[in-house]
Amino acid sequence: MEQVNGDTLAAARKVIAVHINYPSRAAQRGRTPAQPSYFLKPSSSLALTDSAVERPAGCELLGYEGEVALVIGKAARRVGLDDAWSHVAAVTASNDLGVYDLRWADKGSNLRSKGGDGFTPVGPALIPADAVDPAQLRIRTWHNGELVQDDTTKDLLFPFARLVADLSQLLTLEEGDIILTGTPAGASVARPGDVLEVEVSAGDLTSGRLVTRVEEGTTPFADFGAGPKVDDVQREEAYGSREAAGLPAVGPALSPGLKAKLESVATATLSSQLRKRGLNNVSIDGLQATRPDRRVVGLARTLRYVPNREDLFKTHGGGFNAQKRAIDSVNEGEILVMEARGEKGTGTVGDILALRAQVRGAAAIITDGGVRDYTAVAGLEMPTWFANPHPAVLGRRHVPWDTDITIACGGATVQPGDIIVADSDGILVIPPAIAEELVDDCIRQEHEETFIFEMVKQGNSVDGLYPMNAAWQARFKEWEAGRAND
């Protein structure tokens, strides 16, 4: 196969990069674009394999992103989807390098943060485009010999032909131009002395490993331009998570102790204490449960469906859509809450996706729409609350639209991170900020009601007892003291 050389780099008048294209990266970033978006990298950022890249002096976060690079073989202007791939001459490996320290100054252009000399190594070999299926490529990245990225192009948000066709609608893609097609999850930060390797393969065909060595820059930024500046938000973005960045974890809104307390009190008690605080519209109503014997407490993740529109279902209903992304990113103990507008004429979840949620560790699924494959869903250990069974698929009434936003379900507003308590008595949405105080008052209320129950059982009238007047309050305190001494 032909090797990438200086002539290859010189032929590239434009280097165009895609922001987000892999479902795994979209899930990691917590956002999924409806359409592709792009930025330019200067051709002077291109470099060959076995080259060195400088982490600029004063910078902390040199991010790396293994990507498949497309090399344009013939000019493309206003080409269609069917013809677009024929304008690609070859694919190869690339590394979309950049310093997060300068993102603050770029305002979305990425010019300084990703445009530095050597920030786009490509190669070492070109794989002929007509010899591969663009949906069957594998991209892998190694950081100091450890495999950190490993994904395929099978389920891209925007297939390669779409990128070429889309870009060609407004600008001419010229022979030699390079398109960087996005990175999967696993991108992180490299330090001076590190070695980065990227490889693209298709069966027996391979680009070979693109090797880049990181060096420490020694020339400081001049004081007449934007200098490096980072914070914990950029550190988390660069490394992919707070844990990977070495940052302290954000305290959970639902600690094990709080969860245990919420599990111990009745839903009715929670409802009455919520009502005392002026919260009268926090119950998800009108649903039934596959496991009415189960009680669950967990943090809400959210998914919204919009009414079906055929053109929108064509763009949002297939592939790794919002429904699948929500299911595939739900975490241990979380509850996926779906807004289906109370529409009962189609299913919003079926057996395979419900099983996937269970495997992911979800505590429950709650939807104010229908459930497909009811018998199989009801047979799962994980409970599902739903409006009714229905055999129809999403496209009859719904388009899966977006995730982790404020939604409405069963007449209640639900935000990501709200605490959900659900059992056979009902489903409540609890604002996390008041949960500790709320449940402590619930425990006190149930303690009082235990006393009241015993007094009624002994034959006492409820007059003055329920609720307790001053005399009964005094007797209750004596009863409490006696139990404490037992």
According to the model, what pLDDT value does residue 251 have?
A: 56
Last residue in a domain, options 390, 411, 430: 430
Give percent of the chain with pLDDT exceeding 70: 98
| Pair 173, 77 in one domain | yes
Q: How far apart are CA 393 and CA 372, in angstroms?
A: 8
Q: Using one digit for the tens of pLDDT, what is the confidence trace for 63-118?
A: 999 999 999 999 999 999 999 999 999 999 999 999 999 988 886 789 999 999 99
Cα separation, 304 vs 341, in Å, equals 9
| Tokens of residue 74, six digits | 């013939």
Average the pLDDT over each of 51-65, 196-210, 250-264, 326-340 and give the range with the smallest value. Answer: 250-264
Whether 13 has a pLDDT exceeding 60, the answer reads yes
Rounded Cα gap, residues 372 and 39, in angstroms: 42
pLDDT at 250 over 60: no
CA 401 to chain CA centroid, nearest Å: 14
27 vs 353: which has the higher pLDDT: 353
- How many CB atoms are closer than 10 A to CB 51? 14
Please indicate whether residue 453 or residue 243 has the higher confidence score (pLDDT). 453
SS3 for 370-405 is EECCHHHHHCCCCCEEECEECCCCHHHCEEEEEECC
Question: Do the domain assignments include residue 36?
Answer: yes
Classify residue 449: in a domain, yes or no.
yes
Write down the number of H helices and E strands in the chain: 15, 30
Identify whether residues 85 and 198 lie together within a single domain.
yes
Two structure tokens written together for 341:
């507008």
What is the pLDDT at residue 190?
A: 95
| Number of domain units in the chain | 3
Q: Of the candidates 246, 232, 190, which has an alpha carbon nearest to the alpha carbon of residue 214?
A: 190
Q: By residue range, what is the domain housing residue 59?
A: 6-239
Claim to verify: residue 447 and residue 346 sit in the same structural domain: no
Question: Which range, 228-232, 435-439, 466-470, has the best average confidence (pLDDT)?
Answer: 435-439
Location of structure tokens 């059982």: 457
Asked which of 401, 430, 459 is the last residue of a domain, the reply is 430
- Predicted confidence at residue 89, as pLDDT, reads 96
Average pLDDT of 446-460? 89
The confidence score (pLDDT) of residue 486 equals 59
- Domain end position, chosen among 239, 272, 292: 239
What span, in angstroms and rounded, lies between the C-alpha atoms of 127 and 159?
18
Question: What burial class does residue 395 get, using C-beta atoms within 10 Å of its C-beta: 0-12 exposed, 13-18 middle, 19+ buried?
Answer: middle
267-309: pLDDT as tens digits: 999 999 999 999 999 999 999 999 999 999 999 999 999 999 9
Lowest mean pLDDT among 27-41, 51-65, 206-220, 262-276: 27-41
Model pLDDT, residue 275:
94
Reported as a single tens digit per residue, the pLDDT across 117-128 is 999 999 999 999
Residues 379, 385, 390, 394, CA torsion sign: negative
Better pLDDT: 433 or 485: 433
The answer to whether residues 390 and 450 belong to one domain is no
CA nearest neighbour of 181 among 3, 17, 386: 17
Q: Is residue 424 part of a domain?
A: yes
Calculate the average pLDDT of the chain.
92
Query: How far apart are alpha carbons 92 and 137 in whole angstroms?
Result: 10
Identify whether 1 is part of a domain: no
* Same domain? 343 vs 471: no
pLDDT in tens, 363-403: 999 999 999 999 999 999 999 999 999 999 988 999 999 98
pTM for this model (two decimals): 0.58
Q: Is 263 within the bounds of a domain?
A: no
- 260 within domain boundaries: no
pLDDT for 254 equals 86
Three-state DSSP state, 291: coil
Task: Note whether residue 22 is domain-resident.
Answer: yes
- Strand ranges (E), 391-447: 398-403, 407-409, 412-414, 419-423, 426-430
Among 57, 69, 60, 157, smallest CA distance to 103 is for 60
- Name the DSSP letter for residue 254: S
* Structure-token pair, residue 233: 């938000």
